[in-house]
Structure 1
Amino acid sequence: MINNNAMEAIDSLFMDILETRLHPEGYGWLCEQGAALRSTAKPGKLNRIFAQVPRFAIKADPELAAQQLAQGGKQLPVNAMREWLIDTLSRVWLLLQVPDGDQISYVATIDPLFVGAEVNELVALYKSLELLAYPEQWITRCEEGIRSNIGSVLEAIMCNNNYPAVYLKEAAWNQMILKAFFTDKDVRRIRGLEQRMNPRLKAALEDYVQERTAAGRSVNPEIYKLMELQ
């Protein structure tokens, strides 16, 4: 679980990015919703706000946003976040506003979002995993996401996300890595890939290479780099 000081810094970072990328009215709406969640966060309220984000999270004029960043002299340390869709940024920030003092209430508020979420909502939920409180509570949800056939959902879990490397058990981790190769994801963006290489994964990758070679199909060179680690 991320400590309070780190979470304050992360929250500030999100606000810096959102302020420059949202239309002023949209930014004001988002701040109001965040305050409402900090006051009283219930599943129904969070569901409603989550669904409303595309209506209010209106992009700012790109030139104005660039000027604001330059004038503010802001050095944003997480460059990847600047590439997220504005809806994703807004939704992840909203999740960070849910009070986490009580585990049962916290999980009961956020977990229902995974059920019936549309694709963009799922992307935000999976990108938020490493920032959510009580991280062990989201392992099953992460494993469910790995079984998805939706490319953007898989990338949200696999790419530039620390959660899988830290919390997934070996079997689920291996499944994710194999699926990344099966679905031609950029495995270089998977955090902890080399550190979590293991004998079972090596054996599975060797079988995969043999199948691809026998079928006359190309093999991602990153596989050979991984197998050399074992």
Structure 2
Amino acid sequence: MAKTSKDYLSDILQLNLNNSEFQWLIDAVAQISEAKSKKDLYMTYSLCTSKIQNTPIADFGTQDFAWKTYLETQKASTLEISRVFILSSALEAGDEFLKPVQQLIQVADKTELETFLKYLVFLPEPKNFNFAAVEALRTNIATVFNAISQYNPYSAQYFTTAEWNQMYLKAAFMQQDLKKIPEIEKMANKDLARIISDYAHERWAASRDVEPMFWRPVSNFLEGNLIDDIERLFKSDTEREQKAATLVCFHSNSDEAKKLLKTYDTHLQKVEKGNITWKNL
């Protein structure tokens, strides 16, 4: 039988918890599964903080698996992964645990919610918890919002286009690091390109700057006002805006983009050589 995400989490926890901590966790999860008890689930989840020392995971093991790099990037801790392991184990034990787990998320404190959102992809049928992921888009608490938006593969896999657009715009509005949002090119769409242009015009009308990274999704949708917008970036005195315009046009197949690159070629050679990218802008 192929290993599940829960199995890999168990392997990682065994490497990073002491024997008594790991044994408590395994025994508690087994009790939940055998008794099919919602009470046992709630009790185990609440005891986790006192039973598991919260330390950064230092050993991810030698086996490669789909989310290993993600765990390393998020600097996962033993307490975080223990909580996710408990929820994942309960959900695998039976459908009767779906509502109890959903309820746990609804009453979670900020730290628990951040953990849940960051590692949502590890749970069976993550789509069942879309309500919590979408709700996180409405918060003004940066750490909660970033838990679902930064590095997290969940948004590109499970959000609707409208939800993903909302997330991208909210990240810009909150002045979060847009480089940390994954799959931007994959999720780019015509509606978002139009909204980006409208938002930029509002900012400019108020004599406010627009973060150059914000333009990244528009390459494949250069028409109308967007052509003028990108030309404005090329003419800017700000070098990062000029570079952003070059990147937008370089990654576009439109004739208008090619014309702009011929006219404004200051940074083109560096972009062609890969010295200027969206990652290092």
Q: TM-score range by the shorter chain?
A: 0.7 to 0.9
CA distance in 2, matches of 1:214, 1:42: 59
2:192 corresponds to 1:195: no
**What is the one-letter code of the residue matched to 1:86?**
T
Find the counterpart in structure 1 of residue 9 from structure 2.
14
Unaligned ranges ≥5, structure 2: 222-281
Q: Deviation per CA, 1:126-167: give whole Å up to 9, x if none.
A: 123223233332222221121122222212211222222122
Matches within 5 A, 1:1-230: 5-7=2-4, 10-59=5-54, 69=59, 74=62, 78-82=68-72, 83-100=75-92, 102-103=94-95, 105-230=96-221
TM-score by length of 1: 0.81
Structure with bigger RCO (C-alpha 8 Å, 6+ apart): 1
Q: Is the 8 A contact 1:205 1:223 kept in 2?
A: yes
Q: Is the 8 A contact 2:130 2:158 kept in 1?
A: yes
Which structure is larger by alpha-carbon Rg, 1 or 2?
A: 2
Unaligned ranges ≥5, structure 1: none
Shift of 1:73: 6.6
Distance 1:42 1:197, change over 3 A: farther
Q: Is the 8 A contact 1:145 1:154 kept in 2?
A: yes
Distance 1:209 1:15, change over 3 A: same
Which deviates more, 148-157 or 16-25?
16-25
Distance 1:21 1:150, change over 3 A: farther
Distance 1:185 1:49, change over 3 A: farther
Count, aligned residues = 217
Matched residue SS, 1:97? helix
Q: Is the 8 A contact 1:160 1:191 kept in 2?
A: yes
Shift of 1:112: 0.4
**Kindly, what percent of the aligned residue pairs are identical?**
27
TM-score by length of 2: 0.67
Q: Is the 8 A contact 1:212 1:219 kept in 2?
A: yes
CA distance in 2, matches of 1:223, 1:183: 12
Matched residue SS, 2:185? coil
Q: Is the 8 A contact 2:118 2:147 kept in 1?
A: yes
CA RMSD of aligned residues (A): 2.6
Q: Deviation per CA, 1:89-129: give whole Å up to 9, x if none.
A: 111111111143654x1321211012221011111221232
CA distance in 2, matches of 1:29, 1:185: 39
CA distance in 2, matches of 1:28, 1:53: 13
Q: Is the 8 A contact 2:12 2:61 kept in 1?
A: no
